[in-house]
Amino acid sequence: MKAAVLYDINTSLQIERIALPNIENDQVRVRLVASGVCHSDWHVVKGEWPFIPIPIILGHEGAGVVEEIGSEVNNIKVGDHVILSWKRNCGLCEMCQVGYPNLCDVKADQRGQPHLLNSGRQMDKFNGLGTFSTETILPQDVVIPIDKEIPLPQAALVGCGVVTGVGAVLNTAKVEPGKSVAVFGCGGVGLNVIQGAMIAGAEPIIAIDILNNKLELGKQFGATHTINSSQVDPVMAIQDLTEGQGVHYAFEAVGLISDPFKQSILCTRKRGITVYVGHAPVNTPVDFDARILFSEKMVIGSHYGTCRPRVDFPRLLGLYKTDKLKLDELVTRVYPLEQINQAFTALGAGGVARSVLDLT
C-alpha cells in the first residue's frame, strides 16, 4: 500500500510504499477511499503533541471498503462500506459498560503488528488508523458499517470532525431547544458544533472567530449572529445579544490558545455550561478568577463527541440523508494523497472547512 509518512516534526510528509502484514483472526483489512485532513494531524506535524511517536502514518478520519476479514470477525462483511472510529471499543471496560465507549481504556495503538517500512524501520499509525494511506488493517471494533448510498468522502468526515462537533452538542451538553449557544472557533469542528446547535433547536447561535471568511461559513452552518473577536470583546458582545445574561452554553472549539477558553467561561450565564472541545497543545494553561464558578457555572470536557460510533455514525448519516446535516458543504477541497502537504498549507491558512484526500 501507499502511505504519507511523517519522519520528523515540521517536515513535509513523504509518500512511501509499505508492505502490509497478513491480518489476524479479529482484524479487518480496509481499502481506504477518502480521508479528511484534521487539525489533530497538523498538531502532530507541528510537534505540539510530543507524546505521539514518530515516524508515523498520519490520518484518523477515514472511510473505505472492507477487502478482507479474519475468521473471528462478526457483523462486518467483505464489500461493506465503513467509517473508521479512532477510539477502541472493547465492550468490557467500565466506560464501555456504562455507555461511554469514547472513553474506553484500551489504547488506540494496542492493535497488533505495526507496519514495516522497506528499511525495516517500525511505523506507527496515528490513533491506530493511519488513514493517509491506501489500505489499513484494524481491529473489528473500530470498523463501522454504513449505508452504501452515502458518498465515502462525506462519510469519512463523520469519523472525527462531524461527530466531535455535533456530538459535543447533542451527547455531551444535551442542548435543549430554545436555549442560547456561543461557539468559539469556526474551523472544521466549530462548524459542526454550530450545525449541532441548529439540529438541537438552539436560539440564538452565536459564532465567534477572528476571520470574517470563517464567520461567513458559520452563518452557512446555522449561526444566527457572528462576532469577530479581533475587533470587539466577544464576552461583551455576547452579553449584549443575551440581555446581559450570557449564554446557556458555550463551546470552545479553537484549541490553540487560552484566551478563547477563558472567554467561553466568562460568557455563560448563571448555571451556564462551557464545553471544552478543542484540543490545545500540551501544557496550555487557562487562568480565570475561580470565584466566577460561584454562580454554579460548569466547565466540562467533550471527548470524541461522547459518541458511541455504532449508534451515532448511522444516526448522523440519517440526518444527512434527510438534509438536516450538512456534509457536502464541508468538503471544501479534494487532493490526491501525493498533495497532502498542500492540504496542510490550506489548513494553516484557514481558508477551508475541510480538505479531503481522494485515496482511490
The smaller minimum CB distance to Zn ion, of residues 249 and 304, is found at: 304
Interaction of residue 96 with Zn ion, rule CB under 5 A: yes
Put the strands of the sheet holding 298-301 in their side by side order. Answer: 225-228, 205-209, 181-184, 247-252, 268-276, 298-301
Cβ at position 225, least distance to Zn ion in Å: 27
Binding part of the chain for Zn ion, among 82-90, 214-222, 294-302, 323-331 by CB under 5 A, reads 82-90
- Whether the Cβ atoms of residue 229 and residue 206 lie closer than 8 Å to each other: no
CB of 329 to Zn ion, least distance (A): 18
Taking the complex as a whole, the smallest distance from the CB of residue 315 to Zn ion amounts, in Å, to 19
Residue 167 Cβ vs Zn ion, minimum distance, rounded to whole Å: 12
Q: Does residue 131 come out as left (phi exceeding 0), alpha (psi in the -120 to 50 range) or beta?
A: alpha
- Rounded Cα gap, residues 163 and 179, in angstroms: 21
Nearer to Zn ion, 65 or 93 (CB): 93
β-bridge pairing 62-69 and 27-37: antiparallel
Q: In whole angstroms, what is the distance from residue 305 CA to residue 212 CA?
A: 27
**Which region, left, alpha or beta, applies to residue 178 given φ > 0 means left and ψ of -120 to 50 means alpha?**
left
Q: Which residue has the cell 449508534?
A: 311
- What's the min distance (Å) between Cβ of 121 and Zn ion? 26
Q: Is 93 in the site for Zn ion (CB under 5 A)?
A: yes
C-beta of 66 vs 156, nearer to Zn ion = 156
107-166 residues near Zn ion, rule: CB under 5 A: 160
Q: Which stretch binds Zn ion (CB under 5 A): 94-102, 216-224, 293-301, 349-357?
A: 94-102
Q: At its nearest, how many Å lie between Zn ion and the CB of residue 105? A: 5
197 binds Zn ion (CB under 5 A): no
Member of 35, 40, 172, 355 binding Zn ion (CB under 5 A) = 40
Contact 26, 140 (CB under 8 A): yes
CB nearer to Zn ion: give 42 or 288: 42
- What DSSP line would sit under 51-107, residue for residue? TS-SSEE----EEEEEEEE-TT--S--TT-EEEE-SS---S-SHHHHTT-GGG-SS-
- Cβ proximity to Zn ion: between 78 and 334 the closer is 334
Nearest to 161 by CA among 14, 324, 329: 329
Binding residues with Zn ion: total (CB under 5 A): 7
Please select the residue that binds Zn ion; options are 1, 5, 104, 152, rule is CB under 5 A.
104
- Given the complex with Zn ion, which of 102 and 226 has the nearer CB atom? 102
Write the CB contacts of 183 (distance below 8 Å, at least 6 apart in sequence): 190, 193, 194, 197, 205, 206, 207, 208, 218, 223, 250, 251, 253
Q: To the nearest whole angstrom, how small is the minimum distance from the Cβ of residue 97 to Zn ion?
A: 8
Q: In the complex with Zn ion, which residue's Cβ is closer, 160 or 193?
A: 160
All three cell numbers of 356: 479531503
Smaller CB distance to Zn ion: residue 104 or 182? 104
Q: Which part of the chain contacts Zn ion (CB under 5 A), choosing from 83-91, 139-147, 249-257, 274-282?
A: 83-91
Residue 78 CB neighbour total at 10 angstroms: 12
CB of 87 to Zn ion, least distance (A): 9
Among 37, 38, 63, 169, binds Zn ion (CB under 5 A): 38
C-alpha span between 15 and 54 (Å, rounded): 15
Residue 209 buriedness (CB in 10 A; 0-12 / 13-18 / 19+): buried
Residue 89 beta carbon to Zn ion: minimum distance, rounded to whole angstroms:
6
Comparing CB distances to Zn ion, the nearer of 102 and 242 is: 102
The residues that touch Zn ion, with contacts defined as CB under 5 A, are: 38, 40, 90, 93, 96, 104, 160
